[in-house]
Amino acid sequence: MKTLIFSGLFLLVGMYRLSAQNVATGELDLESFVEERFSFQEEDIAYEDLYESLLQVHLNPLDLQEATAEQLRSLYILSPFQLASFLDYRNTFGPLISVYELQAIPGWTLETIENILPFIRQDVYSGNQKMPGFKRFQAAENAYLIFRNRRVWQTRKGFTPADTLSNGQLSSRYLGGPDDLYVRFRLQQPGDFSIGLTAEKDAGEQFIWDKKTKRYGFDFLSFHFMLFDKGPWKTLALGDYQLQFGQGLVFGSGFSVGKGAETIATVRRSSLGLRPYTSVLESGFFRGAAATYKTGNLELTGLFSLAPRSANLQVIPDSLEASESYLSSLISSGLHRTKNEIEKKGQAREQNFGLNLQYRNSDKGIQLGTNFLHSRYSQEVFPLKRIYNQFEFRGKSNYTGSIYFSYNFANHYFFAESAISKSRGMGHVFGIMSSLNRSLDLSLVWRKFDRNFHSFYGNAFSEGSRPINEEGLYLGLNFKPNRKINWSAYYDYFTFPWLRFRMYAPSSGNEWLSRFTYRPHKKLMSFIQWREETKSRNLVSEEQSSNHYQLATGKRRNFVWSLSYQPNQWWQFKTRVQQSSFQINGQKTRGFAILQDLSANLGNWKFSGRLSLFDTDDFENRQFLYERNVLWAFSIPNLYGQGYRYYLLGQYKLNQRITFWLRWAKTTYTNRESIGTGLQEIAGNEITETTFQVRYQFNR
């Protein structure tokens, strides 16, 4: 009886506090969620995968009554203490009566609840899964069709008439029109099924039906059909899919951000298993069939994939009037605009066979698993030999296997994975996330990847974009003494035992970040962030003073100050100042950007806009500016030189089924007469782009 009274009092207090503070409804503000939690500084982050992974969870929210610790960790929102508190609360008091009850959980703040609401649901799916398939499709919760068009209005060189070269041939030009086209159809019922079709044509690509060049209207087509929880079969998949198990040494697709302003939760990877692939990246996914079978605490996943890959195909004629071919490189850009690019489309076939066996005991907080993936190409892969790539993969087939584990003890979470590839190169990741008390969280990660460790689908925590030729130690801290103040910081030391691109000697470096956030109340939030990275690189040719390559240490510094103010539910203002510097070989360059945002939510109409000014000495100081865009699209331009940029974004909800978006953005440079290089060059100092999108929702 005392327990019931205690729970009831907590619930009443939580409902009062949340209702008094106008808790969010669970609508996903992707821009705010991503920008406040993660720090984008590099171009090699797969932004499409980040958005798609967040979207997958948003459209298939976790059931609060049954969500596992692993699923909740994958949101990168909860600290070890907050996660342990939630699980203890649910075990003690049973199913949650209302989302308002979340306020009663020790350590859960209003900010925590606002962040997690878009990714959870309190009620389980109540539909009748025994209904005939067609009726179940008609009753699907997520059923929509999206069409998007994006265009740059200035004429790039690739769209101009071809020139006649000195040999009498015509110069290369784009064969298609300047419009980006995107179509997505999705029919999904959480916990039951998912059907999806994604089609895309990039600017410069032809909209053409040509079987010979493997183009069928849109240049890229992706389809998936998945079933969930059908007896012992946890997941059944046909079409395009991705897998994520362990710490990403073998299967590492999905939402993996790495180092950023969120210094604790993002250091580990989650074993999310088999999921549909819905991005437009034309590599990094499997195409075929896969399934997960579950019995008790054991899960077995098997996959088979046969997918085309774009590649540079080289033909070697021999004396017997026959020829052999090999692949000099695999191409992941997904662009097929010119005759030369089209010739590379689908030149290779990649076959994959993989297995995962996983044991999970939620009561004891233990997870054990093993991965295996065998990949085979239709031709031998022989990259052009360079001084830095002597240990890269060469051959026709590769296999990678690993074992991994995780263990949760109170507020401490341990995780690790070790892998080996066919070359006998190895990769290791060991880490811990810990809540030392309610205010202080700590993360520690050590990783080591041999120079000959080959993992085609690996995406482990690392300094580089791939887990190869690296060793490092990362320490992250997060201190939150009260609900108003938060300080997060990390320090990462890394070494590269072998040569790398633009780094022709073994080297080492380090990186640190510190962010101080002040949120006195819900309407106002401000943060100051410092970041510094020290890393070596080759001196340019005119600076070399000997007959061998010399390295110099480059130091990059970034500073950001941001202020967000939302006086009411209709208006929001944001001001930001960014400054950077880069120093190498005695020379120092600088750059800065200032921006002002204004957003309005006026019922069926939503507007947002920005004016930004930038001035940088060179490309090293380019400024990355995260911008709002149409639904489930991203825009993170990097600006360098001198000039200003502004955009306007409007959204109109015509009715319960149809919503329109229109975005207009323009960048004007004051110190140049052309923009871009090669076929992307624009004659002039302005670039204007528009994006139009319409969404039709079937079940509204």
DSSP string for 627-696: B--STT--B--EE-SEEEEEEEEEEEE-SSSEEEEEEEEEEEESS-SEESSGGG-EESSEEEEEEEEEEE
What CA–CA distance (Å, rounded) separates 616 from 637? 14
How high is the pLDDT of residue 232? 95
Return the structure tokens found at 539: 């001196």
| Interacting residues of 322 by C-beta distance below 8 A, sequence separation 6+ | none
The DSSP-derived string for 495-560 is EESS-BTTB-S-EEEEEEEEEEEEEEETTEEEEEEEEEEEEEEEPPGGG--SSS--EEEEEEEEEE
What CA–CA distance (Å, rounded) separates 436 from 417? 24
What CA–CA distance (Å, rounded) separates 697 from 652? 14
Average pLDDT of the segment spanning 429-437: 94
DSSP H/E element including 601: strand 587-602
Tens of pLDDT, residues 464-502: 888 999 999 999 999 999 989 999 999 999 999 999 988
- Give yes or no for residue 257 having a pLDDT over 70: no
- Give yes or no for residue 128 having a pLDDT over 60: no
pLDDT band at 23 (very low <50, low <70, confident <90, very high): very low
How high is the pLDDT of residue 10? 44
Tens of pLDDT, residues 59-76: 778 888 888 888 888 888
Q: Is the pTM of this model over 0.95?
A: no
pLDDT band at 515 (very low <50, low <70, confident <90, very high): very high
Query: Average per-residue pLDDT in the chain?
Result: 87
- Give yes or no for residue 2 having a pLDDT over 50: no
Return the structure tokens found at 103: 């306020």
* Tokens 């600290």 found at: 79
Name the residue with higher pLDDT: 109 or 48. Answer: 109
| Interacting residues of 645 by C-beta distance below 8 A, sequence separation 6+ | 610, 611, 612, 614, 625, 637, 639, 665, 666, 667, 668
DSSP H/E element including 313: strand 311-317
pLDDT band at 22 (very low <50, low <70, confident <90, very high): very low
Q: Are 408 and 51 in contact (CB under 8 A)?
A: no
Tens of pLDDT, residues 601-651: 999 999 999 999 999 999 999 998 888 899 888 788 889 999 999 999 999
Average pLDDT of the segment spanning 4-25: 43
Name the residue with higher pLDDT: 358 or 281. Answer: 358
What CA–CA distance (Å, rounded) separates 614 from 612? 7
Average pLDDT of the segment spanning 544-552: 69
DSSP 8-state code for residue 619: G
How high is the pLDDT of residue 260? 83
Strands 323-330 and 366-381: parallel
Name the residue with higher pLDDT: 272 or 292. Answer: 292
How high is the pLDDT of residue 199? 95
pLDDT band at 115 (very low <50, low <70, confident <90, very high): confident
Average pLDDT of the segment spanning 227-245: 94
How high is the pLDDT of residue 483? 87
Q: Are 452 and 398 in contact (CB under 8 A)?
A: no
- Give yes or no for residue 24 having a pLDDT over 60: no
Nearest Cα to 66, choosing from 187, 190, 233, 186? 190
User: Cα-atom radius of gyration of the chain, to the nearest Å?
Assistant: 26
- Give yes or no for residue 659 having a pLDDT over 70: yes
Nearest Cα to 264, choosing from 476, 565, 527? 476
How high is the pLDDT of residue 38? 62
Average pLDDT of the segment spanning 97-123: 82
DSSP 8-state code for residue 97: S
pLDDT band at 341 (very low <50, low <70, confident <90, very high): very high
Contacts 24+ apart (CB under 8 A), 432-439: 433/80, 433/264, 433/265, 433/267, 433/268, 434/80, 435/79, 435/80, 435/81, 435/82, 435/84, 435/411, 436/411, 437/81, 438/81, 438/106, 438/107, 439/479, 439/480, 439/481
pLDDT band at 664 (very low <50, low <70, confident <90, very high): very high
One-letter amino acid identity for 43? E
- Give yes or no for residue 558 having a pLDDT over 90: yes
Strands 142-152 and 298-309: unpaired
pLDDT band at 1 (very low <50, low <70, confident <90, very high): very low
| Interacting residues of 326 by C-beta distance below 8 A, sequence separation 6+ | 313, 314, 316, 379, 380, 381, 382
